[in-house]
Amino acid sequence: DDLILKQDAAKSLLETSQFEEAITLLEEIVEEYPEFWSAHNNLSLAYFYVGEVDKAKQYLQTVLEQNPGNLHAYCNLLVFYYYERQDEKVEEIAKVLSTVHPLLVEHRYKLGATFALVGHYPLAYKWLRSLYKQGFEGDEVFYYWLSYSAYFTGNVTFAEQMWERVIKENKEKEGSEPWNVSGDANHRVGSMTLEERLYAIFLAVQTNNLNEIKNYQSSTVPQSQLEKEFIAFALTNDDHIYKKVAALYHIAESLFTHSKQDELFLFSFRILTKVYKENISLQNHQGWAAALEYVWRTEANQPITQATIATQYTTSVATIGKYAKLIKNILS
For 52-69, write each residue's pLDDT tens digit: 888 898 889 889 999 988
pLDDT at 188 over 70: no
259 assigned to some structural domain: yes
State the total domains in the chain: 3
Cα 19-267-274 angle, rounded to 5 deg: 35
pLDDT at 30 over 60: yes
Domain co-membership, 106 together with 80: no
What range defines the domain where residue 131 resides?
Answer: 101-188
Domain co-membership, 130 together with 223: no
Domain co-membership, 270 together with 207: yes
Strand residue runs (E) in 39-117: none
Domain co-membership, 162 together with 269: no
Work out the average pLDDT over 74-78: 93
94 assigned to some structural domain: no
95 assigned to some structural domain: no
324 in helix, strand or coil? Answer: helix
196 assigned to some structural domain: yes
Domain co-membership, 143 together with 123: yes
DSSP structure class, residue 173: G
315 assigned to some structural domain: yes
Domain co-membership, 77 together with 163: no
93 assigned to some structural domain: no
For 99-119, write each residue's pLDDT tens digit: 999 989 999 999 999 999 888
Top-confidence residue, 303 or 37: 37
Domain co-membership, 162 together with 263: no
Q: What is the largest CA-CA distance in the chain?
A: 69
129 assigned to some structural domain: yes
Count of positions (residues) in the chain = 332
For 282-295, write each residue's pLDDT tens digit: 899 999 999 999 99
Residue 65 maps to which CATH number? Answer: 1.25.40.10
Q: Out of 122, 157, 188, pick the residue that ends a domain.
A: 188
Q: Out of 137, 171, 188, pick the residue that ends a domain.
A: 188
Domain co-membership, 199 together with 298: yes
Q: What pLDDT is stored for residue 181 in this prediction?
A: 65
Residue type for position 259: S
pLDDT-derived band at 212, boundaries 50, 70, 90: confident
153 assigned to some structural domain: yes
Domain co-membership, 143 together with 209: no
- Quickly count: other Cβ atoms within 10 Å of residue 219's Cβ: 17
pTM as predicted? 0.62
Angle separating helix axes 243-256 and 194-206, nearest 10 degrees? 70
Domain co-membership, 196 together with 308: yes
Domain co-membership, 5 together with 78: yes
For 227-246, write each residue's pLDDT tens digit: 888 988 988 888 888 888 99
Domain co-membership, 316 together with 213: yes
Q: Out of 188, 222, 245, pick the residue that ends a domain.
A: 188
